[in-house]
Amino acid sequence: MKSLRFVVFAILVSFSCVTFAQSTEQKSEAKKPQAPKSEAQKAFEKLKTLAGQWEGPVNLQPPQPDMANGKPIHVSMRVTSLGNLLTHEMTSPDRPDDPITTIYLDGDKLLLTHYCDAGNRPRMVARPSADGKTVEFNFVDISGSTQYGHMRRAVFTTIDENRHTEDWTFVMPGDKPVEAHFDLKRVSTVAAK
């Protein structure tokens, strides 16, 4: 009987040692420093701080006959998909249903897809600035027709938590670029759904 008690005791001690070792291992793994964030991850985190409602004028160069310079624009930016996607929707009083843009990480790249009212979807890849205030997206490829032109470049520059600018380059048929500069001020930190 004593030997049976000893065997049970030895088994219990063994299990407790294994459990303690596993617990200690998990704690040490939890304390390990995380890998440093990539430039794309840092840029994405910075852009996500722009979530909210924004308003401001747009200025076009060269001026376009069917679009007035200084026209007010409303931009809604929202973080969604459990933090994996930033949506950007732009509207104006005379065009309440304008393009939607998505920004997301794809491996070590920060990508933008612009769902254009010209009927196409250009994709662009980010190039963050050294100071972290500007993220420039440049053309990679496009789906859909370019018959009516397409977006080629987008630049987001953070001034402070309540102001940022956006510069978009649209290429008209015949490779004629039109530059649009948006000077935006935050009107709400809550993005419309």
Block mean pLDDT (10 aa), the chain, length 193: 48 45 53 85 96 95 77 94 97 82 97 95 95 96 96 97 97 94 93 59
Per-residue pLDDT, 71 = 85
Residue 161 to residues 49, 54, 94, 128: CA-CA distances in angstroms?
Answer: 8, 11, 28, 18
Contact 189, 52 (CB under 8 A): yes
Per-residue pLDDT, 69 = 76
Q: Give which of 179, 131, 137 is closest to 158, Cα–Cα.
A: 131
The CA dihedral of 119, 88, 64, 157, to the nearest 10 degrees, is: -140
Per-residue pLDDT, 180 = 95
In sequence order, the β-bridge partners of residue 178 are 170
Contact 59, 165 (CB under 8 A): no
Q: Give 147's Cβ-side CA count (13 Å radius).
A: 4
Q: What is the DSSP letter of 190?
A: S
> 77 is written with which tokens?
């930016």
Q: What is the DSSP letter of 107?
A: T
Q: Which amino acid is at 75?
A: V
> 40 is written with which tokens?
């794309």
CATH architecture for residues 39-188: Beta Barrel (2.40)
Contact 166, 182 (CB under 8 A): yes
> 63 is written with which tokens?
């001026």
Per-residue pLDDT, 12 = 41
Q: Give 125's Cβ-side CA count (13 Å radius).
A: 7
Per-residue pLDDT, 35 = 85
The answer to whether the bond into 62 is cis (omega within 30° of 0) is yes
Residue 139 to residues 112, 124, 162, 184, 189: CA-CA distances in angstroms?
Answer: 9, 4, 28, 23, 29
